[in-house]
Structure 1
């Protein structure tokens, strides 16, 4: 009996994989699907990032006897005002900094190497360098040059990629407000409709599973938006104090990269340190000090208040997930892999419990 069930399961999986493989050979099926995903991924991502922070505000306004539709429109008006103010004050500066960074990236390596060579000639540094280390120093500078070229190529490509959604601006503006409006308006109805997908006797289990997924995603996305926004305010104030170039661009990068647990803090600190070092070694030191202080405030003050507890995922699992997500989808893959894993983990646990529940009930019968 077990063997028959095992072979049936194996044959079913093999058949599904065969169908998928054969389907990939048919371009007229998978090319439209690929195009649809590439077109909708950015609007869906923006919608999700706005839905979870705005939903508590809509629920709060609804409790104050304001109709849900009017609550959403009121928040839309507030968002429009913020976007207009940013487009007037912040966007021109951010746009110019992005263009300047991408244009000047090839020259950054030479500037950093020159700063390192100046630093090597300082008496304080030379006393720590062994005698006859000039050959080793030349080799190290060559390796540093190769590494920096790789880093700046990576930064240029990904910064360009992060701003490429501007080319789809019409699509984003046309779809995000509509999807977000109906998600917020039919929030309670959506949960009920999803529960209807489960068979009658598993409907309560399905409700519990969906609630856990919703709570996990809400805590991660809404909490991370608030924490990252507060972190970026701290960073921007610090960068303005030391007059760090590309400060708004670096803060913008830090906001998105810090959605990535553990690695995001390092990834966002690398361009800050490089830009600071280009100006002067002392500027590089002060920029790193500001990043460290802001991260300490985030980790020890902001996250305990907003999150209450950390992600229920082992750090080793997070690192593996980020490596896989980065290899499959770059920065976007690293941003999406943790929420997808959280939802999949909760779903698998509950579906397995439903399977055990059904198995026990069938044996009792």
Structure 2
């Protein structure tokens, strides 16, 4: 008997609620495994390509693991210390920059930014607060980042989990496919393919875009000689997954630092502005359309909402899971919207009922049925006669046992 659809939805809803509750309760414990699964998902196409080139799965995964470990070690040794030093220096210099901006505004617009006005008071309080609190904040941030980088769970568990999941990824996908409900398996496979296209297209494509932009911004600002240029360029690239946010925040910070450092030298200030302008033009006209594309279906507002909601509910684990969950929810929302537009609730017209099982009629030559009935009657008469003979024989045997 077929299970009603409302009962199926109830069971799937309970299962989803249990998974979300487990993620909420065990967030810190399962974080390394979530990160490992994410790394394996991102690197699976590379492993498949190496297999097509003739390597075994074990050898392909080993080559990928060695390459990722070397790249990660290079980043930790070369990039992270430089960013931490520049971040600390920027935090220490920020109050002086704000004070200089305040003095500039007072000299140019004394009627708006005097010491007695709201703007002047705000700038004074902001500079004082930053001077008092930034040292403590910097030490806390640096210590937390250092603790995160040096955590055994991140450095040991994530690579191990990623290695084994990447090794058995295709088998796991095939096993999950066998566990899908048979009635809804085609629909679930289609939704899974769409989620994979949206997620992989966004994450891999946007990751490549951020790498290109980060290289351009960081090295361009360093060549110009902008203080903290490497940090500003990397942060602008990391924020570029949300259109215009990275260039606005990074560009505003870079121009502010350039005004502080290159005041009276408009050429260098213009070069800083040009670096971000060129990056924005290339990103909008080439990188985003060619690499990320328009088919991923992750709108920036939807992505920001997912980051805010899942971050508030599940903390750092929610931030890690926000992008895949946003991709999945976006695909499911489009699927439900399509089903709604096909339903009677949208059209106002009920769909016709499903036709019943048709009656099969076999066409045979004339007299076939009558001949079959006649043969059946003859067999029935013969069976009855044979039964009577057997009964008479058994009765004679009982009356005259000596004749047996």
- TM-score normalized by the length of structure 2: 0.66
Check 1:215–1:317 CA distance in 2 against 1; reply closer, same or farther (3 A cut): closer
* Mapped contact 1:202–1:354 kept (Cα < 8 A): no
1:256-304 Cα distance to aligned partner (Å, 9 max, x none): 3223444344344454344444434556665444223212212212222
Partner SS, residue 293 of structure 2: coil
User: Which of 97, 103, 117 is the matching residue for 1:111?
Assistant: 97
Check 1:136–1:324 CA distance in 2 against 1; reply closer, same or farther (3 A cut): farther
User: Which of 72, 76, 79 is the matching residue for 2:65?
Assistant: 76
1:234-256 Cα distance to aligned partner (Å, 9 max, x none): 00121112212223333332343
* Mapped contact 1:108–1:278 kept (Cα < 8 A): no
CA-CA distance at 1:313 after TM superposition: 4.4
**Hey, what does 2:193 align to over in structure 1?**
211
CA-CA distance at 1:352 after TM superposition: 8.1
| Residue 89 (1) aligns with residue 78 (2) | yes
CA-CA distance at 1:72 after TM superposition: 1.4
User: Which of 308, 331, 346 is the matching residue for 2:293?
Assistant: 308
Structure 2: how far apart are the matches of 1:273 and 1:164?
A: 32
Q: Which runs of 4+ in 1 moved over 6 A?
A: 157-160, 329-332, 351-357, 359-362
Normalized per residue, which structure has more helix? 1
**Hey, what does 1:143 align to over in structure 2?**
122
* Mapped contact 1:55–1:184 kept (Cα < 8 A): yes
CA-CA distance at 1:118 after TM superposition: 3.4
Mapping of 1:1-365 within 5 angstroms?
34=24, 36-41=26-31, 44-45=34-35, 47-48=37-38, 50-102=39-91, 104=92, 107-118=93-104, 121=107, 126=108, 132-133=111-112, 135=114, 138-145=117-124, 164-168=147-151, 170-281=152-263, 286-309=271-294, 311-314=296-299, 316-318=301-303, 320-321=305-306, 323-324=308-309, 336-350=321-335
Partner SS, residue 200 of structure 1: coil
Structure 2: how far apart are the matches of 1:223 and 1:197?
A: 31
1:122-150 Cα distance to aligned partner (Å, 9 max, x none): xxxx4xx5x85564995323334556768
Structure 2: how far apart are the matches of 1:110 and 1:99?
A: 14
* Mapped contact 1:72–1:185 kept (Cα < 8 A): yes
* Mapped contact 1:213–1:343 kept (Cα < 8 A): yes
1:27-72 Cα distance to aligned partner (Å, 9 max, x none): xxx8x96563124336624652x34542222121110111122111
Worse-matched range after superposition: 244-253 or 284-293: 284-293
Structure 2: how far apart are the matches of 1:337 and 1:271?
A: 27
The total of aligned residue pairs comes to 333
Worse-matched range after superposition: 339-348 or 261-270: 261-270
Taking only aligned residues, the RMSD between alpha carbons, in angstroms, comes to: 4.4
Check 1:143–1:57 CA distance in 2 against 1; reply closer, same or farther (3 A cut): same
Check 1:94–1:235 CA distance in 2 against 1; reply closer, same or farther (3 A cut): same
Structure 1: how far apart are the matches of 2:173 and 2:245?
A: 34
Q: Which has the larger radius of gyration?
A: 2
CA-CA distance at 1:204 after TM superposition: 1.7
**Hey, what does 2:378 align to over in structure 1?**
none
Check 1:183–1:269 CA distance in 2 against 1; reply closer, same or farther (3 A cut): farther
* Mapped contact 1:260–1:335 kept (Cα < 8 A): no
Structure 2: how far apart are the matches of 1:66 and 1:182?
A: 17
For structure 2, the residue ranges without an aligned partner over 5 or more in a row are: 344-349, 357-404
